[in-house]
A and B are shown apart, each in its own frame.
Chain A
Amino acid sequence: MNNKDLLNLINITVSFEGFLALNKLNLNLKKGELRAVIGPNGAGKTTFLDVITGKVKPTKGEVIFKGKSLVGRKEHKIARLGVGRKFQSPRIFENLTVKENLEISVTTPKSPLNLINKNIKDEQLNEIERLVKIVNLAQKVDSKAGSLSHGQKQWLEIAMLVGQKPDLMLVDEPVAGLTDEETDLTADLLKSLSGENTVVVIDHDMEFIRRLDSNVSVLNQGTVLCEGTMETIQKDKKVIDVYLGRPED
C-alpha cells in the first residue's frame, strides 16, 4: 500500500452462510489506472464490486478508498465519495427521458432541497450535451430511455456513470449484447476515460479485454489468482487451467 493507491482491498473475505464468495482477496489500484478483472462464473467478480460499493459488507477485511475506510458506509455515501458503478444489465430509468436520466447523474449536491428549489445549473446542462454527443445519443435526448435499443441503453448507463464524475468507475460487463463495432467503440471510450479516472472493467469477452490493453487481474474462487498484462496471464499455467482452458481441450 502506498500513497499513490486510490483503492486498496485488504484480505477481503465475504461469507454467505459458510460459502466463501470472496476469500482473502487483495487488490490495489493506482490513480488513473485501467484494470480489467476476469474470472470464470462464480469467481466472485460481482461480489467484489458489491463490497466496494457498499451493497455487501465484508465478513473480514478492509476497503480503503482515498485513505478512508469504506466498510460500513451506506451506498449513497460511498457514491458521493466518488465511486461510480455500471451494472451488468443496463439499469437506467426507463420511464424517464435520456436527458432526465443524465440530469439525475450530473446533479450536485444530491439533496432534496437543491432538487426541488433550484433549476439545473448551466454547466451541468453543458455536461449533458457533451455526454450525449460522446455516446451518440444527441438525437434521442427527449426519448424515453425505455425505447432505446440494448446498445444505446448500455451507452446511456456509461454516460450516466461518467456524468457522476467518480474518481473510481466500476464497469460490470459493459459490452454484453453489443455488436462488434459497438464493442470496439466502448473499449476506446473506456481507454480514453482512464488516466483522468480510475476504471475497473469486469468482463468475459477476451477480445474486448485484449483491446483495453491494460493490466488484468484474474479472479478464481474468490481470490486473485494472478495479475499482469494480457500476455503474462495468457502464459500463466494456473490461469490456463481454470479459465482459458488447456490447449488440448
Chain B
Amino acid sequence: MEKTPTVTPTVNRRAFLNTLGVTVGGTGLIGAGLVGGSQLLKAAQDPAKGRVPDTPFRTGHMTFLTGAGAVLGEPSIKGHTMAAEEINAQGGLLGKRKIETITADEAAGTDACVKEVRRMKLDAKIDMFTGVISSGTSPAVGPVAEELGLLTILTDGCTDFLFDKAIPNPKYVFRITNIQSSDGITAAIGVAQTWPHVRKIAHIHPDYAYGRNASEHFTLALERLVPGTEVVSESWPKLFTTDFAAHITKIMSAQPDLLVASVWGGDYVAFYKQALRYGLFDKMKVASTIAFGVAPHAIGKDHPEGVLAGVHSNYYFTYPGGDRWPLNKSFVQRYFKRWNEYPNFQSEGAYMALYLLKSAIERANKLTGGWPEDEAIISQLEGLGIDAPSGYLYMRPDHQAYKDAVTGFSKNLPDYEFASWDPARIITIPIRNITAPLGWPKPGTTHNESTAAANWIKTTWPKVVG
C-alpha cells in the first residue's frame, strides 16, 4: 500500500476516480486484491483424505426471524438453507458430514442474542456459528464467540466497530460481507462519478449506528471527491419509522441537488412510496447506500428510475450478469427454483459462508487428512480466495472479507416484476481502494477517529480540484 504524505495533496477528479479503479457499465470484474489465486469449486471433486467421521456438522444460524428486520432475515436463512442442502446432496462436508442447522431469532434483543450464542455452543454443541444482520448484534456476539472459542462466519452485522474495537484481534470470528464504512464511500464515489456538479446536499439516515456510519463516511469521501458541497438538510428518523411525510417536505423545502439516504428494509419501501407521490424524485438526485438491499421483490414496479440504489456495497443478483460469470447465473437460477424469488446480498452472504467453510475444510484436509481441527480451518480461512456469485471473494488475514464494492442505478426492466438495476450503469470499485489496508492503526491506538477507515481517508486521500 502506497502511503501518501500527510499534507493533503490535490488531484483532478477523473484521475482520482481512475486511481480508485472505478468502472461503470458492469464490465469490471477486478478481483478483490487476490493474493493467492482463487480456489475454484472443482477442488470439491477430490475425495477426502484420511478418516472423516460421519457425525453431522452442526451450525447455528442467527438472523431476524421476527419483527421489522425479518425482511432481511428471510433471505439470509434461505441462502444458508440452500447452501446446506446443496452440500448435503453431495454427501456433506468432505463427503461425510451432513450440515445440520439450528436457528436463533436476532429480534429477541442483544442480551438474548448473547444468551443464544452461549446456548448454541454449550448446550446445543454447534460446530460453527453463522448469520447476524444488525450492526448492533455483531459487536455483542463477536466477543462471546471469541471467549467460547466458537468458529464464526458473520454474514452481515458489518459495523467497523466489530474489528476496530470490540474484537481487534479476532481468532475465531470472520466476516464475509464488506465492512460498513465502504458503504458510505461507495455511494460517495457513485455520486462523484455520476453527478460531480451537486452542491447542496440533504441527508436522511435512520437514527442509530448504521445511519451515523453511512453519513460520516459518505461525507468524508465526498469532501475529497467533490469539494465545496454543503449540507442543507438533515433528517434522523427513528429506525422502523414508516411515516416520512414531514421528512420529505423538509428535504424538499431545502431544495437540495442531492439526497443521501441510508434508510433500509421496510422503512425504505415506505419512504420511496411516499417520496414518489410528493414528487421528491423529480426535484433532486437520490443516492442510497442500501435501497436495494431488501429482497428484490419487496421493491415495487413504481420505484423511480435513475436512483443510485445501493446494496450495502455487496451484491445484487443481476451482477455479474449474462453468461459472463456462470457462477452467478446458476446461483440465481437455483435460488429462484428453490424459493420462487430472487436472492439479495443477505442470501448470497449466508450462502457463501458455508461454501467458504467447505473450501477451507477441504484445503485443510488435503494437508493433514481426517477432519481438521478448528485451528487448521482458521488458518485456511485466513487469506482464502474463492469464487462467489458476486465475483471474487477474499478473506483477509485480519478476518474481514474483501469483495468488489458494487452499486447501481434503478431501472424498470421488462424481465422483472420489480425495479432492478440498469445493466449498463453498474459501478464497481476494487474494495482495497476504499477500505483501510491490513494493519492500519485502529481507533484508540495512534488516533481517535470513529473508525480506522475514517482515519485512513483523512490521512491518505488526496483532494480533487477543479
Partners in one complex: no
